Structure 1
Amino acid sequence: MLKNLLLCVWVSVLCSCAMVSLKTQDTRDYIMSKRADVLSDKHLSASAMEVVGVVAKNRRECEHQINSCIDAIEQIGLQQQSPAYLAAMSELWLYQAQQLQKQANQVDAYHNALLESARYAYAYLFFASTPVNQRVLDSRQMQVADYYNYAVQTYVNENFKRYSNAEIEASRRHGVVKLGAWTLSSDLGQLHLPQNVTLPDQLIAATQLRFQGLRNVSQRDGFGAELVAVVNQNQEADRQRTFSEMNAAPATVLLHFKGKTLDEVLRSHDVVLQGIDPFSHDTVTVNQQTVPLAANFTGAYGVWLADSGFAQQSLKTLFGREGGIERPHVFLMQPYDPNRRIILMVHGLASSPEAWVNMANDLMGDVRIRQHYQIWQVYYPTNMPIALNHVAIRHAVNDTLRHFDPNGIHNASKDMVVVGHSMGGVISRMMISDDNGALQPWLTEALGTKQIPASIAELAHFQPVPQIGRVIFIAAPHNGTHVAGGKVGKLVSKVVRLPFRTLKTLDQALTDAFSNNKRELTRLQQRGVLVPNSIDNLDEKDPFIIASQNIKISERIPYHSIIAKFNAKTELSQSSDGVVPYLSAHLPRAQSEKIIVSGHSVQENPQAILEIRRILHQDMDQH
C-alpha cells in the first residue's frame, strides 16, 4: 500500500509541469485584460507583452528597465513589417515618455519618446503588411490610433509653448524648426483660424476639457490630435463690425513622418506638422489609405462661451448699464463656407447665444446637418423695442452676407433656416412677413404725426427677407403675453433702460424730418415721443403687438412651431409654458406643431432639439 502511494506521488511530480488548471473569469475581467494598456491602466498591454516575451522579460522587468527592453526588442531581428512589432514599439515608447514626463531634466528625451511613439504608430497604421482597412474591427488598431493621437496632441502642445524661444522663432520664420534630432516643418494650408491669423495665441487639448452646462460632446472618432486653437479677441475691432467668428476654432493636427516605405519612415527624422479644419475635411489620406479625420466640435464652442461673459452682459444690456451692447452682432460658429446653408438663431428676452448652447452643440454633432449647414447666432440688445431690433437684425444679417457673398450667388445666401425663441420668434416672424400696412397706424400714433421720417419708415414697412427659406418658432408670443403686462412685468419694465444712442438717433431723425416745419417740430418736442422697451412690446395689450397680428407671413416660406406646455394635464387651449400662452404661440398655418411638456426655455429640451433635427433633415430632403 505504501509502495503504491509513493509511486503515485512520484508520477504526479513528474507530470506536474504539464498540468493545466481551469478557472473562470467574468466578461468585465476579460474585456479589461484585452483593453488595458499604457493609457488606460498605466501598464503595458497584454498585446505588447506578447512581443516583450520574445526577449524573455516579464512586465515588471520591462517597465522597470524600459530603455533596455526597447533596445533588446530592436536587436533580436523581429520582422519590422509585423503589425504586432510596430504596435508594441509604439506602446513601449509611449510608456517611456510617461516616465520621462515626471523628470524635469529630461525634456528633450521626453519629446523624443513622444515622436518615436507617434512614428511607430504611424508606421503600424499605414505602412504595415496588413492595410488599415483590413483591420477595422481590430481592437489593437484602435489602441495604436489612440497612442498616435495622444503622442501628437502632447508633443504639439508642449512645443507650442516653446515657440516663444528666440531660436525656434527665428527658424520657424524659414518654415523649418530644429528640435533635438528632429526637423519639423509645417503645412497649415488646410487650417482656418479666426481672424485669418497664421498661428493661434493658445492651443488647448480638446480631450482635456470638461464643461458644465453642456450635455454632450460633439466629436468624430478618427486619426489626429483634437485641439482648440484660440486667438486673442480684438474687442474694439469686433465692436466696429456687425459680425465676427468665434475666437476659438477646432483644429485637428497630424504629424507625418517622411518616407515612401516602412524602412524610410522608421529611419527618417523629418516630420511635417499638418493642421486641418475638421469642418471642411471629414477624412485624410496617408500612403494611399483614407481614414476618418478626428474632430472635436464642442471644445472650441465651449471655450468661446466660457470666456464670453454673455450672462452678465445680457443683463447689463437689459437694464441699460455700462458694458452692455447697443446693436445686433452676428457670430459665426465656424469659418464661413459658401457651400453650406445657414441656420440663423435668434434668442429671446434678457438672453444671448448661451440660450442655444446644447441645441447648437447637438446640431453640430449630427453628421448630415454639419455637412449641409453652418450656424450663425444673432446677439442683440433685448431692451430695445421689437420693431427697432427687427430692422437692426435685418441690416446685420444682410451686411454679413454681403461681406462674404457680395453677388449673392453662394448656397449660403439661399434658403436660410431661421430658429427664433420667445421674443426672437416674434422678430423672426417679422423677417418673413409683409407689413401689409398693419403697422402704419401704430407708428403714426407712436409719433403723433402722419409725417413719418424716411429714416425710420422701415420700422413699419418691410418685405420678407429673400434669403430665408424656412423658420422654426419656439415658444414665441406672437400675440403677446399677459405676464409682460402683469405686476412683475411692469416692475421689470420700469428698470429697463434704452441705449442712449438709440434715443439720440430717434431724436435726430425727428429733428431732421421736421427741420422745415418748426411748428410741428416744436409740438413734437413738447409732447415727446414715448419709446416703449421690449417688455412693453410683449404685453398682449401693447399697441405694437396688437398691430403686428395683422402682418402677413409669406406664402412661399414654410414655418413650424415648437410650443411648451408647463402642465401636462392642462387642456391645450388653456395651457401655457409659464410665460407664453398656447394661443399666443399657436399659428394655424404652421407646417408642423410640436407640443412639449416643458417650461419656457424649451429650446434646451432634448425633444425640441430632436424636432429641429427632424425638420432640418426634411429640409435637406427637399433641396
Structure 2
Amino acid sequence: MTFVNPIKNMVTHANKKSIPITSVALIAAMALLPACSTVSVNKQTSAKTITAQRGNIVTDNKLSSDTASALLSAGLNEQACMQQFDLCLTQLTDSILDEHHRSSLAIFSELHYAKARQLAKSQDCLNALSRPPLDPYYANAPLSDTEANAQQESTSRCLTGYQERLFNAIKYSYTYLFYDSLAHDFEGSAQGSSHSSTPNRIPNDTDIQTQDIYNAASNDVITQLYKAVDGSDKLMGDPQIEHLPIASTERDNSAQAAIANRAPLEGKTTDQVKVMKIQVDGYDLGVYLPNENSYLQNAHKQTSALADLVSTYDLRLSGLNSISKRPGLGISLVASLDDRYTTTIRQLLVSSLSGQSDDKKDNIDDSKPSSRIYPTGHLLLTGLIEPSGDSVLEVLDSRKLDIHLYNPYQSESVNILNNDYPLAANFSAGYGLWLSENQLDGVGYLNLITRQPEERLPKLFMLEPYDPNKRVLIMLHGLASSPATWVNLTNDILNDDKLRDNYQVWQIFYPTNLPILENRYQIQRLIDSTYQQTDPTGQNLASKNSVIISHSMGAVIARMMLSDENLVDDLDNLDDQNILSNSEKRKVRDALKASFGEAQLQERFKLQTLPQVDTAVFLSAPFRGTDYADRWFTRALRRVVYLPVGLVKTVTENLATIATKGDLADNPLGALYLQNGASQLSNKSSFIQLTKDLAINDRITYHSIIANNDADITKGLAEMQPGGARIDLSQAIEEDARGEAISASENADSDSAKLTDESLVAAVTIDENISQALTERLSDGIVPYTSAHLDGAASETVINGGHSIQENPQTILTLRRILHQQLNQ
C-alpha cells in the first residue's frame, strides 16, 4: 500500500505557476450570478461557541471546524474523503496555498487520526479480534479456505492501514507542536523568519486540539502495543519483540531487564534506559523505562511484571473530592504489578470458614513483619512517543519511533529538541485503582466482628514506590475503620505540589478487635521493619522527620509509639476493685509472662519512641477513654466483637489455673489482654487507667485536632479567641426579605472575620485561656474534649463537627498547614 506525504507534495510543487487571480475571480463571479445566497445571524451561548471552536475528532468524535472548513474549501465531502483517503489527501494538498504549511500539519494530523478511528471500528479490523467458531454446524460455521484467505487479506490490509494512520497522526501532530524546534525544509519557513520562530506565541485552539490528537494517538499506540505484546489484542498485528539485556551492576554482568534491575545504571534516575525493540509492519519502535531500581523494585519478571497497563483516558475516577493532575505532554498510565496484594470481603469470609488465612495458604509466615509490608502495586507512568528526524520532512518520512515511559514523580519535564516541556501526570489514578480493587471499608468492619481462627496482624501499604528523598507520612485509622478513611486527606496531599514533592504516604491497616497493647506492639514492629528494610543504615531523608497522623483508637496507639515509659512499673497501680489480692496480681502477671515470654512481655509493655518520627497529629483521640463505650447500644455491639481464637487460647491457658474470682476479662490485669479493642476505649477500662497519663517524648512536636458537635460552643470559643476563628462558608448564607445575603464576614478586613449573630464557626485554634466550665461541655458526641486534650501541644484546633472529622475540609486544611510548617522549619 502506498501512502502519500502531502507536505512533501507541497514542497515539490511550491514553485509551480498558479492561475492568474483575475481569471479565478472572473470565473467565480460568473458562476455566482444566478445563485441566491442567504446568510442569517443567530445568537448562541458562549459555551456553545467555545465548544464549537475547541472540539475536534478526539473530544466530539467529529472533525474540528478548521479541518472541516479546509475540506469544504477544497470541495471535498468528509465521508467521501474517508472512503478515498489517499486521493482526498492529494486533492486537499493541491488546495492549500499557504506556503508556510504549519496549519496544514494540524489538519493532516486530525484527518489521519479520524481515519485510524474509522478503521478500528470497521469489520475488517474487528475480525482480527474475533474468536474462532464454537460449533461448525451452526450459523457461525468456519469459512471456506477461499473465504478465509480473502478475509485474512482484508483484515491484514485494514490493520496495516490502521497502524499507519496512527503513526502518521503522531508524526504530523509532533511536527506541528515542535515546529519551532525542527529544521524546515520548504520555502519561506527558514529558521529565524517571522513565521517560524514565535517563542511567546499564546497557545490557540488549534494548538490544544493538536496536542489532544498527539496524546490520543500516542495513547492508542502504547496501550494497544502493550496488549499485543501480552497477546490479548491483535489490532497491532503480530509485533516482533526483542528484550534488551541490561547489566544491572558492574559486578553482576548477567542480563537483567531494566524493569527488574537490581540497581540503576550509571547516570541520573531521570535518564531513560532502552529495554525493548519492537518491529511492526515496517516500523521500528524502541521502548524506554526510567533508570531506577527503587521505582520498579517489585517488578520481578522481564516479560510479565506488569499485569495490566491502563490509560487514564480510559478511567473515570469517582469518590475522590478532587483529581490531582499535572498538565503537560504525554499520556498518564497506571501499570499494575502481577504480584500486588489485594484484600476483599470474600477473602476474609473464606478464610474465616476455612480456618486459614490467605498468607498461610500461600506458605507465607505472616508472623514476620517483613511479610506484611506491601510496596505499591500500581505504578504511575507517563508515556510519550518521539519520531526520529531533525527536520519536518525527515520526521514525516520516518519509520522509527521511540516510546518513553517516565516516572512522573521524578520527571516533571521532558526535553524535546533541546527545549523543555512539562510532563503530564495523574497522581490520583494509582491511588484510585488501589482503593477500588481493595474493599478496605468492609474488610475493616468485618475484621472487628468476624470470629477469626488466627489473629490478623497489621499490614503496611506504601501508596507510591519508596523514595529515599521524601519524608514519610504514617497514617493510623480508628476503630472498625481502614485506610479508606484517609481518602480525601491523602488526595489533597497529592494535589498539593509542595507536599507531594516532599512526602510519601504509608498507611497502616490493622484489626481493631485486638487488645490495644498487642496492636501497638505489632504496629511498631511493622513500622520498624519497614524503615530497616528500606534504609538499613538510616541515612536517607525518608528515615528522618517522619509524621504520624492518627484518628481515634489509632491516635491512642500512636501516642504509645511516641513514649518511653515502662508500663510494667505501673501494673501494680491498677484499681483492682478488691477482686485480686497482691499475690493473685503477681500470679496473673507471671501468667502473662508465661504466655509471651519475659522478653516479649517487656517489648509489649516497655514503650520506646519511634526514632524516625518528630511530628504527630492526633484527631478525635480518646486518650482518657469515653463513657460512650459503656452505653447500652455500644455494650451490645461490644458483645459481637471477637478476639482472635488463637490469642485467647494462648493467654487463657496460662491464666485459667489462677483465676478464681469472676470473669477473667474483668480483672484489671487479665483485661489488658482479654478485652477487645472496643471495650478498652471505655474510660473505666484497665487499659485507660494504665495509659491515660503517658508522657510523650520531649523531642516530638504534636498537634491536637478535636471535634465539637455543638456549634454554639464552638462560636463561644471563637468569640473568646477571634484571631484563630474561621467562618464556615461551606454552605450558602440565608438571605433576608430583600434578597440580600446575610454575610457573616461582610465587614471583615482579614481572614479572621468579625463574628455576628448569624456567624457559623467552622474551626477555631485555641490556647490555654479557656474556662474549665466551657471545656467540660465540649464533645464530638463520642469523645469529650477532656479526654482528647493534651497539655503541651504545639497547636490545638477545635473543628465544628462530629467524631469522624478526618474528612472535614477544615481538618484537612489544618493538617496541610502543619505539614507546610514542618517543611519550613
By the TM > 0.5 criterion, same fold?
Answer: yes
Matches within 5 A, 1:214-613: 214-233=320-339, 235=341, 236=359, 240=366, 241-322=371-452, 326-435=456-565, 440-441=570-571, 448-449=587-588, 453-503=598-648, 506=651, 523=658, 529-530=670-671, 531-570=674-713, 573=775, 574-613=777-816
- Aligned-partner Cα distance in 1 for 2:457–2:100: 63
- One-letter code of the match for 2:298? Q
* Match of residue 171, structure 2, among 111, 119, 125: 119
Q: Please, what is the CA RMSD of the aligned residues?
A: 3.2
**Structure 1 range deviating more: 420-429 or 196-205:** 196-205
Contact 2:588/2:658, CA 8 A, preserved across alignment: no
- Aligned-partner Cα distance in 2 for 1:295–1:122: 19
- Aligned-partner Cα distance in 2 for 1:314–1:416: 25
Partner of residue 516, structure 1:
none
Partner of residue 52, structure 2:
33
Contact 2:587/2:658, CA 8 A, preserved across alignment: no
1:180-214 per-position Cα deviation (integer Å, ceiling 9, x unaligned): 23222211235744722444111112232224422
Contact 1:438/1:551, CA 8 A, preserved across alignment: no
Contact 1:49/1:58, CA 8 A, preserved across alignment: no
1:348, CA displacement in angstroms?
0.7
1:397-428 per-position Cα deviation (integer Å, ceiling 9, x unaligned): 11011111000000000010110011111111
**Structure 1 range deviating more: 319-328 or 602-611:** 319-328
1:145-184 per-position Cα deviation (integer Å, ceiling 9, x unaligned): 2111111112222222222449957623353222223222
Contact 1:253/1:273, CA 8 A, preserved across alignment: yes
In the alignment, structure 1 residue 179 sits paired with structure 2 residue 253: no
In the superposition, relative to structure 1, how do residues 258 and 545 fare at CA in structure 2: closer, same or farther (>3 Å)? Answer: same
Secondary structure (helix, strand or coil) at the match of 1:433 reads coil
1:603, CA displacement in angstroms?
0.7
Contact 1:481/1:538, CA 8 A, preserved across alignment: yes
* Match of residue 84, structure 1, among 80, 103, 117: 103
Secondary structure (helix, strand or coil) at the match of 2:487 reads helix
- Aligned-partner Cα distance in 2 for 1:49–1:16: 23
1:331, CA displacement in angstroms?
0.5
In the alignment, structure 1 residue 147 sits paired with structure 2 residue 213: yes
- Aligned-partner Cα distance in 2 for 1:219–1:225: 12
Partner of residue 162, structure 1:
228
**Structure 1 range deviating more: 56-65 or 83-92:** 56-65
Contact 1:472/1:561, CA 8 A, preserved across alignment: yes
Secondary structure (helix, strand or coil) at the match of 2:625 reads coil
Contact 2:340/2:376, CA 8 A, preserved across alignment: no
In the alignment, structure 1 residue 137 sits paired with structure 2 residue 156: no
Mind listing any 5+ residue stretches in structure 2 that lack a counterpart? 1-31, 126-158, 182-195, 245-275, 342-358, 577-584, 665-669, 715-773
Number of aligned positions between the proteins: 600
1:303, CA displacement in angstroms?
1.3
**Structure 1 range deviating more: 169-178 or 207-216:** 169-178
Contact 2:617/2:704, CA 8 A, preserved across alignment: yes
In the superposition, relative to structure 1, how do residues 79 and 217 fare at CA in structure 2: closer, same or farther (>3 Å)? Answer: same
In the superposition, relative to structure 1, how do residues 74 and 200 fare at CA in structure 2: closer, same or farther (>3 Å)? Answer: farther
In the alignment, structure 1 residue 104 sits paired with structure 2 residue 123: yes
1:450, CA displacement in angstroms?
5.5
**Structure 1 range deviating more: 386-395 or 111-120:** 111-120
Secondary structure (helix, strand or coil) at the match of 1:539 reads coil
1:120-165 per-position Cα deviation (integer Å, ceiling 9, x unaligned): 1222222346569534533322222211111111222222222244
1:265-302 per-position Cα deviation (integer Å, ceiling 9, x unaligned): 11111122111121222111111111111111222111
Partner of residue 7, structure 1:
none
Contact 1:443/1:460, CA 8 A, preserved across alignment: no
- Aligned-partner Cα distance in 2 for 1:202–1:45: 33
- Aligned-partner Cα distance in 2 for 1:325–1:50: 70
In the superposition, relative to structure 1, how do residues 28 and 60 fare at CA in structure 2: closer, same or farther (>3 Å)? Answer: farther
In the superposition, relative to structure 1, how do residues 121 and 321 fare at CA in structure 2: closer, same or farther (>3 Å)? Answer: farther
1:555, CA displacement in angstroms?
2.3
Contact 1:320/1:499, CA 8 A, preserved across alignment: no
- One-letter code of the match for 1:392? Q
Contact 1:316/1:324, CA 8 A, preserved across alignment: no
Secondary structure (helix, strand or coil) at the match of 1:434 reads coil
Contact 1:439/1:544, CA 8 A, preserved across alignment: no
TM-score (normalised: structure 1): 0.87
1:341, CA displacement in angstroms?
0.4
Secondary structure (helix, strand or coil) at the match of 2:203 reads coil
- Aligned-partner Cα distance in 1 for 2:412–2:379: 16
Contact 1:223/1:292, CA 8 A, preserved across alignment: yes
Quick check: which has more Rg, 1 or 2? 2
- Aligned-partner Cα distance in 2 for 1:535–1:64: 70
Secondary structure (helix, strand or coil) at the match of 2:637 reads helix
- Aligned-partner Cα distance in 1 for 2:500–2:107: 37
**Structure 1 range deviating more: 165-174 or 359-368:** 165-174
- One-letter code of the match for 1:247? G
Secondary structure (helix, strand or coil) at the match of 1:183 reads strand
Contact 1:90/1:144, CA 8 A, preserved across alignment: yes
1:319, CA displacement in angstroms?
2.3
Secondary structure (helix, strand or coil) at the match of 2:402 reads strand
- Aligned-partner Cα distance in 1 for 2:471–2:365: 26
**Structure 1 range deviating more: 200-209 or 80-89:** 80-89
Partner of residue 255, structure 2:
none
Structure with greater proportional helix content:
1
- Aligned-partner Cα distance in 1 for 2:390–2:648: 69
- Aligned-partner Cα distance in 2 for 1:404–1:468: 16
Q: Percent same amino acid among aligned pairs?
A: 32
In the superposition, relative to structure 1, how do residues 620 and 442 fare at CA in structure 2: closer, same or farther (>3 Å)? Answer: farther
1:104, CA displacement in angstroms?
3.2
- Aligned-partner Cα distance in 1 for 2:284–2:486: 44
Partner of residue 63, structure 2:
44
- Aligned-partner Cα distance in 2 for 1:60–1:321: 66
- Aligned-partner Cα distance in 2 for 1:76–1:335: 53
- Aligned-partner Cα distance in 2 for 1:474–1:253: 40
In the superposition, relative to structure 1, how do residues 524 and 136 fare at CA in structure 2: closer, same or farther (>3 Å)? Answer: farther
- Aligned-partner Cα distance in 2 for 1:263–1:179: 22
Secondary structure (helix, strand or coil) at the match of 1:172 reads strand
Partner of residue 307, structure 2:
201
Contact 1:132/1:289, CA 8 A, preserved across alignment: no
1:406-453 per-position Cα deviation (integer Å, ceiling 9, x unaligned): 000000000101100111111111122232658632698777555552
In the superposition, relative to structure 1, how do residues 594 and 22 fare at CA in structure 2: closer, same or farther (>3 Å)? Answer: same
Mind listing any 5+ residue stretches in structure 1 that lack a counterpart? 1-12, 512-520
- Aligned-partner Cα distance in 2 for 1:132–1:393: 58
